[in-house]
Amino acid sequence: MTEKTQNQMWGGRFAAGPDAIMEAINASIGFDKRMAAQDIAGSRAHAAMLAAQGIISDSDAAAIREGLLTVLSEIEGGTFAFSTALEDIHMNVEARLKELIGEPAGRLHTARSRNDQVATDFKLWVRDQLDAAEGGLVALLRALLGQAEAGADWVMPGFTHLQTAQPVTWGHHMMAYVEMFARDLSRVRDARARMNESPLGAAALAGTGFPIDRDLTAEALGFDRPSANSLDAVSDRDFALEFLGVASICAMHLSRFAEELVIWSSAQFRFVTLSDRFSTGSSIMPQKKNPDAAELIRAKVGRIMGANVGLMTVMKGLPLTYSKDMQEDKEQVFDAADNWMLALAAMEGMVRDMTANRDALAAAAGSGFSTATDLADWLVRELGLPFRDAHHITGALVAKAEAKGCDLPDLSLADMQEVNPDITDGVFGVLGVENSVNSRMSYGGTAPAQVRMQIDRWKERLT
Ligand code: ARG
């Protein structure tokens, strides 16, 4: 048996190297090389701790830590030769370290295993992504606040069932998304706080007999504390699932907003004009400006949610502790993270650049009998009618307007009095869209004064 056919990390027990297909199914280096920086940070912290505890010598630790920096610069510089035979990032890095510094490299793996190592690397990677998502969400929230502030009192139709319901303000609509994305931000922060425990030192599964100091490595890597159960530490992928769960909900929000932008930018709506920077043209129809960024954002939830379901399915039947199934955790999380960050950035850019068409919004706000509820409320307030009766009368007035092909404010007083003789011309005061939105002063309502109060509250919270 030559060195080449045996695996240099566990060759001792093996008489032959792996079949090519075994190597192909087993190797993760093709994707886990994305965790190189985290792997090297974890190993450097581990080596320093081993020396501090007198488990390896200071000079070995220094050589290891220095050598690892060289490995990192080779990887970052693109000169590192990754090997599939070495299976994953952990063994690729260690093998190169051995080439660089010789014998001390073999001491790095004392008191640890690839099981706690991979859990640590992956946690650090996911934690970075949560931080990136936090930045992306804050930027998006700021862009939404900018839109809300510009049009705090611009009227537009509010919809239920995508049918005109009641007039609302543009600012109010933008602030609805502020609430949604702010909940995503809070979920990101919660997930980060919960996941921030260090698996390093759990070793293969049972801990180690070496006198390690897990607090030291936890602190060096920015964790709040070491995880308290070594079996759980190496078999836990909740942090990745929670990441995907948070990402899925946020992607669903992004998708809903994207859907509105697709509708709003159509020739039939014209509520918004998207900037050229976030639109594309058609190669055959010269008049077209397509909302491709919005459409792609709308679609991203598919793969992100898919990753969530995929990893949940991988994990659901696994006995404690580590199983190789868990190597299938990374690609889905990498893909979901890449696409979540891209969708956040694209949405932020689109929101920042888009123009709300105030006139089109106002014209639409007044159509579709949008002030029918205000009319019914007026009948209750001024004529003392029970709301149910007022609702019925208003329905009859809407039917009358519909038959005449006009909107509610276009009915004459005589038309109105045919339905209820007690109606006075005071009713026309509430049929105006501006009056309608200004009257909705209940907390969280659409009145511009309420909307501005919420804008101020969020601006303060985001600084
Ligand atoms: N490449 C492996 C993974 O991603 C590393 C851990 C391997 N551990 C083991 N006991 N084989 O999960």
32 lines ligand 1 (CB under 6 A): yes
Instruction: Decide if 314 contacts 349 (C-beta within 8 A).
Output: no
142 by Cβ neighbours in 10 Å (0-12 / 13-18 / 19+) ranks as middle
Among the atoms of ligand 1, which is closest to the Cα of residue 87? Answer: 1
User: 89 alpha carbon to ligand 1 midpoint, in Å?
Assistant: 10
Residue of 115, 234, 315, 333 to test ligand 1 pocket, by largest number of atoms within 8 Å of CB: 115
Ligand 1 atom 4: residue of nearest CA: 327
pLDDT for 1? 38
Q: What is the pLDDT of residues 409-420, one digit of tens each?
A: 899 999 999 999
CA separation, residue 111 to residues 71, 114, 335 (Å): 22, 11, 32
Catalytic residues: 161, 282
235 lines ligand 1 (CB under 6 A): no
322 lines ligand 1 (CB under 6 A): yes
Residue 302 to residue 312: CA distance in whole angstroms: 15
Ligand 1 atom 1: residue of nearest CA: 88
pLDDT for 162? 94
120 lines ligand 1 (CB under 6 A): no
User: 391 alpha carbon to ligand 1 midpoint, in Å?
Assistant: 66
118 lines ligand 1 (CB under 6 A): yes
114 lines ligand 1 (CB under 6 A): yes
Q: What is the pLDDT of residues 277-331, one digit of tens each?
A: 888 887 777 777 899 999 999 999 999 999 999 999 999 999 999 999 999 999 9
Residue 206 to residue 234: CA distance in whole angstroms: 9
pLDDT for 16? 81
- 3-state SS string over 53-91? CCCCCHHHHHHHHHHHHHHHHHHHHCCCCCCHHHCCHHH
CA 176 to chain centre: 17
User: 187 alpha carbon to ligand 1 midpoint, in Å?
Assistant: 29
Instruction: Decide if 174 contacts 153 (C-beta within 8 A).
Output: no
Predicted confidence pLDDT, tens digits, the chain (463 residues): 344 456 767 777 787 888 899 999 999 999 999 999 999 999 999 999 999 999 999 999 999 999 999 999 999 999 999 999 999 999 999 999 999 999 999 999 999 999 999 999 999 999 999 999 999 999 999 999 999 999 999 999 999 999 999 999 999 999 999 999 999 999 999 999 999 999 999 999 999 999 999 999 999 999 999 999 999 999 999 999 999 999 999 999 999 999 999 999 999 999 999 998 888 887 777 777 899 999 999 999 999 999 999 999 999 999 999 999 999 999 999 999 999 999 999 999 999 999 999 999 999 998 888 889 989 999 999 999 999 999 999 999 999 999 999 988 899 999 999 999 999 999 998 888 998 999 999 999 999 999 999 999 999 999 8
pLDDT for 3? 44
